[in-house]
């Protein structure tokens, strides 16, 4: 399989990298360490001292650099060895560094060919930085490949049976799936009338819109329009960023927001989102990965349904990107 | 190594599959789901939805079928997709089904060539259905290949040192081992006089008879005949069904019975049997499997003793059956 | 990689093998059982009954031999089958035995060619048997290859940042590393003046001397010479014996001693040594092993520093020894 390497991946939420943090996280199979310089800039290196392969993340920040706790070699944010406590800093001691951008409350990392990083855009997730939203954030890790997560999000008919609160038995949407000119995939789901969250008296129209940007960024809005006197309008928007840790495990960064004035307590909003993404979706995707073992999806000859067309297009797109990178 | 595929294996005790149960169990390396229809009939399918490979066992029973909790596809007991909540039920969505028979309080599964299932008999274990027995049941799983369990049961000289209650230091039996015309192996063990369960005053003759039916069904009777005034007659019969989960792990179904009137409390009978099979045998077989790693028994050149002749014949028989299946 | 087989390795401290103990320990990838005969002599066999591959260590001592708990075969300390409870002791049932020597409070095992065992000396660790020392002992196991432990001990500049008590920020020694005529490596470290254990008022000269004997025995002395009025002389000596359990895990036997009259409570001495070796070193070496995976050190192109010269020489020596053994 392999990864799409020439892409910006979420490494963390910005708030995960406080002033004193050495963040250790494996990305695309490589151990990475990241930290924030006094200027606020985040830098990322391979999390292996080139001397004896100690994880630099076991060390500590020294000024704007990091000191390996094993023999005390210090490295700056470019990976250059700046100090050797016991002698001359060896010029050959250079740790691989990774381009980092901090945008939209996320720290993005580039694991591919450095000269291409400027040519590739970071997916836009406007609600993360716009005024007027109350946002909840989550970070988790799942023992399932990131393409299984793409498949999951690109076919929201799964909400009917898997999700209590955001789906349920009346979730039988009309589905329109299309590829946009910019390569994104847009899935539109419409249920003209259904009960709200198990309350069959309150009738609403529900419309979901999901936009996928390769390789693994999803933005999903859910809108309720009242169809009965007791129902109220409701709008929630979320993003889902899937960063491969290994071929069969994924870092999952999610956020969900409602308009600032909506009278839902923060904890309720957070728990509702977390339940759907971490309690309902995640064990299912891990069980599927366990069932599939090391097999590729296509080798198992899945039966495809019309609702799979978004996921199938995304998989084709990722395959094409991987093949392009190999040339 | 591989498995003998064309045989009826115990999938569960009948009582393990209640009306609402979706039983998930791996057999011969394949994940299987089984449930009971309203007619009482048990059915079994591969535990993988053919759409996205979710375990069907995470779903729920719907009428006489099962509904995948991921996207709601429903399947009947033959594995046919009967309903797609979100569209047309895809005719290509067919889950592999496995022949099932329910006999003698056990649910038996056939993992081999379907057309041969009618030609192969289920081993007979009369005490399970005869009147007049008080029976205790157990189900466990061991990280040891099923042939190690066969070896264990086909050489009861191991009871002397491994088993407290059913063996002990006076268990030094005369052993006769023979192959019956129907392919079964019969092991007869006789100690003309020994103390009962550590009570050296109560003297009894002990005779064990074990019958093995390929690939892995054992029926074992133990009979005490008094040889001193204080001793009493005693008879216990047990069966041991070993179903390969993987090449190196086994589902172990056991039952033991005494005549209905014997004044032993159920808990004592159950604990005595469970101690022997799950506390004494099982850790030993798991330790042996760990010592052997992935090696085949014969590649390790075991030193054979006369008491091994039953086990050796059974292994030869299983090898012949496997080779037959490959042709 | 492989092991240096023709060498005496520490199997245990003498006190670990009491009269009733069957010690089970994997050495160079092989399961070993050892016990002490009534004469006091320690013997060691492969921990696998040659009959059915049960671990003999699950059995019990019978006289000066061991009885397998599975079918009761008994073996003497040479691995000869001396008794079969159920029949004739099979002459072919011979367990591999390993030469053992008990010297210097340690039990040493020879896993290589038996005829060479007499020609190879056991490393000398005089303080273990000399009068006048108060000694603390430890045994642990680390998920790191033993050569990483050699590297660690052969470059004590790691103490500056990794070790609180025995290193610290003023530990910036002058280092001299040389190979002795007898093949040992000697590393001398000198700091002419530094504070004692974080007390900057008490000034001492610190001199460390480490002697490595192939494949994996280290003797390390640390000597404080007062340089201020409040400081006191101090001397501690330790040994470190690294026995490969597998290619990437190690049994680590350590001992540390101070002159008998030094007023340090036993617990404090033990905790100080244990903290350095098991709390500070061990997790670092395990993290390095995890970072390296199955790769060989040289394949990862480490950046070498002058302080690595002892470790590099030791690795070259071990490579030569392994190649010699293959011829």
Q: Residue A288: pLDDT above 90? A: yes
Encode pLDDT of A259-276 as tens digits: 999 999 999 999 999 999
Confidence of residue C201 (pLDDT cuts 50, 70, 90): confident
In a domain, A320, yes or no: yes
In a domain, C251, yes or no: yes
CA dihedral (A29, A35, A40, A43) positive or negative = negative
C67: chain B residues, CB-CB within 8 Å: 161
Encode pLDDT of A114-135 as tens digits: 999 999 999 999 999 999 999 9
The reply to whether B150 touches chain C by the CB within 8 Å rule is no
Q: Write down the pLDDT at residue A200.
A: 81
The reply to whether B65 touches chain A by the CB within 8 Å rule is no
Confidence of residue C200 (pLDDT cuts 50, 70, 90): confident
Verify whether the Cβ–Cβ distance A53 to C302 is below 8 Å: yes
Instruction: Sort residue C168 into left (φ over 0), alpha (ψ -120 to 50) or beta.
Output: left
- B51/B149 same-domain check: no
- C111/C177 same-domain check: no
Q: Stretch A207-228: mean pLDDT, rounded? A: 97
Measured between alpha carbons, how far is B237 from B127 in angstroms, rounded to an integer?
Answer: 8
Q: Which of B103, B119, B135 is the last residue of a domain?
A: B119
Backbone angles phi, psi at A160, to 5 degrees: -55, -45
In a domain, A301, yes or no: yes
Strand partners, A26: A31
CATH number at residue B212: 3.90.380.10
Shortest distance between the Cα of A243 and any Cα of chain C, in A, equals 20
Tokens of A327: 């040339």
CATH number at residue C43: 2.102.10.10
Q: Which residue in chain A has the smallest CA separation from B32?
A: A291
The reply to whether C76 touches chain A by the CB within 8 Å rule is no
Q: Stretch C192-199: mean pLDDT, rounded? A: 85
- C89/C189 same-domain check: no
- A251/A299 same-domain check: yes
Compute CA distances A214 → B169, B280, C66, whole Å: 71, 56, 65
- B177/B301 same-domain check: yes
- B240/B139 same-domain check: yes
Q: Write down the pLDDT at residue A153.
A: 98
In a domain, C2, yes or no: no
Tokens of B121: 């008999």
Q: Residue C264: pLDDT above 80? A: yes
B161: chain C residues, CB-CB within 8 Å: 59, 67-72, 85
In a domain, A3, yes or no: no
Shortest distance between the Cα of C58 and any Cα of chain B, in A, equals 8
Locate tokens 């205790």: which residue? B136
- C71/C194 same-domain check: no
- B86/B209 same-domain check: no
The reply to whether A198 touches chain C by the CB within 8 Å rule is no
HSE (CB half, 13 Å, CA atoms) of C259? 7
The share of chain A scoring above pLDDT 90, in percent, equals: 95
The reply to whether A62 touches chain C by the CB within 8 Å rule is no
Verify whether the Cβ–Cβ distance B87 to A288 is below 8 Å: no
Q: Write down the pLDDT at residue C37.
A: 98
- A101/A166 same-domain check: no
Q: How many CB pairs under 8 A join A and B?
A: 69
Q: Which residue in chain A has the smallest CA separation from C281?
A: A70
Q: Which residue in chain B has the smallest CA separation from A175?
A: B86
Considering all CA atoms of chain A, what is the largest pairwise distance in Å, rounded to the nearest integer?
78
Shortest distance between the Cα of B315 and any Cα of chain A, in A, equals 31
DSSP-assigned states of every residue in A214-251:
TTTEEEEEEEEEE-STT---EEEEEEEEEEEEETTEEE
Percent composition of chain B: helix, strand, coil (DSSP 3-state, to 5): 25, 40, 35
Backbone angles phi, psi at A98, to 5 degrees: -125, 135
Residue of B145, B159, B286, B291 to mutate, interface with C, max C Cβ within 10 Å: B291
The reply to whether B54 touches chain A by the CB within 8 Å rule is yes
Q: What distance, in Å, lies between the first and last C-alpha atoms of chain A? A: 15
Cβ(B38)–Cβ(B64) under 8 Å?
yes
A66: chain C residues, CB-CB within 8 Å: none
Q: Which of A119, A153, A170 is the last residue of a domain?
A: A119
Residue of B47, B82, B86 to mutate, interface with A, max A Cβ within 10 Å: B86
Strand partners, C194: C204
Quote the domain boundaries for residue A77. Answer: 8-119
Verify whether the Cβ–Cβ distance A305 to B54 is below 8 Å: no
Total tally of structural domains belonging to chain A: 2
Q: Write down the pLDDT at residue A1.
A: 66
Higher pLDDT, C256 or B202: C256
In a domain, B47, yes or no: yes
- B108/B133 same-domain check: no
Residue of C31, C52, C58 to mutate, interface with B, max B Cβ within 10 Å: C52
Tokens of B151: 């070896």
Measured between alpha carbons, how far is A215 from A13 in angstroms, rounded to an integer?
Answer: 18
Confidence of residue C196 (pLDDT cuts 50, 70, 90): confident
B2 burial type by CB count under 10 A (0-12 exposed, 13-18 middle, 19+ buried): middle
Verify whether the Cβ–Cβ distance B157 to C69 is below 8 Å: no
Verify whether the Cβ–Cβ distance A54 to C288 is below 8 Å: yes
In a domain, C102, yes or no: yes
Q: Residue A36: pLDDT above 80? A: yes
Q: Which of C90, C119, C148 is the last residue of a domain?
A: C119
- A105/A149 same-domain check: no
- A164/A291 same-domain check: yes
In a domain, A66, yes or no: yes
One digit per residue, the tens of pLDDT, for chain B of length 327 reads 689 999 999 999 999 999 999 999 999 999 999 999 999 999 999 999 999 999 999 999 999 999 999 999 999 999 999 999 999 999 999 999 999 999 999 999 999 999 999 999 999 999 999 999 999 999 999 999 999 999 999 999 999 999 977 788 899 999 999 999 999 999 999 999 999 876 788 999 999 999 999 999 999 999 999 999 999 999 999 999 999 999 999 999 999 999 999 999 999 999 999 999 999 999 999 999 999 999 999 999 999 999 999 999 999 999 999 999 998
> Residue A59 carries which DSSP code?
S
Q: Write down the pLDDT at residue C153.
A: 98
CA dihedral (B85, B86, B87, B92) positive or negative = negative
Encode pLDDT of B202-249 as tens digits: 999 999 999 999 999 999 999 999 999 999 999 999 999 999 999 999
Locate tokens 């290619």: which residue? C247
């Amino acid at each position: 399989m392999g990864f799409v390497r020439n892409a910006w991946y979420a490494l963390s939420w910005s708030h995960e990298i406080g002033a004193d943090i050495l963040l250790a996280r494996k990305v695309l199979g490589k151990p990475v360490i990241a930290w924030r310089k006094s200027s606020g800039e985040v830098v990322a290196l391979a999390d292996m001292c080139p001397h004896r392969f100690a994880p630099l993340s076991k060390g500590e920040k020294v000024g704007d650099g990091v000191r390996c706790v094993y023999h005390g070699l210090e490295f700056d944010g470019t990976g250059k060895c700046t100090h050797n406590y016991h002698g001359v800093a060896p010029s050959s001691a250079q740790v691989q560094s990774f381009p980092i951008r901090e945008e939209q409350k996320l720290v993005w990392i580039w694991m591919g060919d450095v000269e291409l990083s400027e040519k590739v855009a970071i997916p836009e997730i406007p609600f993360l930085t716009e005024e007027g939203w109350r946002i909840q954030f989550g970070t988790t890790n799942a023992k399932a490949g990131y393409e299984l997560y793409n498949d999951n999000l690109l076919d929201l008919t799964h909400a009917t049976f898997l999700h209590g609160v955001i789906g349920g038995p009346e979730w039988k949407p009309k589905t329109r799936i299309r590829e946009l000119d910019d390569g994104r995939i847009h899935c539109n789901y419409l249920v003209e009338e259904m009960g709200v969250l198990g309350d069959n008296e309150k009738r609403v129209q529900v419309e979901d819109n999901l936009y996928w940007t390769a390789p693994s960024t999803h933005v999903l809005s859910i809108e309720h329009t009242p169809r009965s006197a007791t129902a109220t309008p409701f709008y929630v928007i979320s993003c889902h960023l899937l960063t491969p840790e290994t071929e069969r495990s994924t870092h999952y960064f999610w956020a969900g927001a409602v308009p600032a004035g909506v009278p839902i307590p923060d904890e309720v909003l957070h728990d509702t989102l977390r339940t759907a993404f971490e309690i309902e979706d995640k064990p299912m995707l891990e069980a599927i990965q366990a069932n599939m073992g090391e097999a590729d999806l296509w080798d198992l000859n899945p039966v495809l349904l019309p609702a799979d067309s978004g996921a199938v297009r995304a998989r084709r797109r990722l395959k094409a990107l991987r093949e392009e990178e190999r040339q």
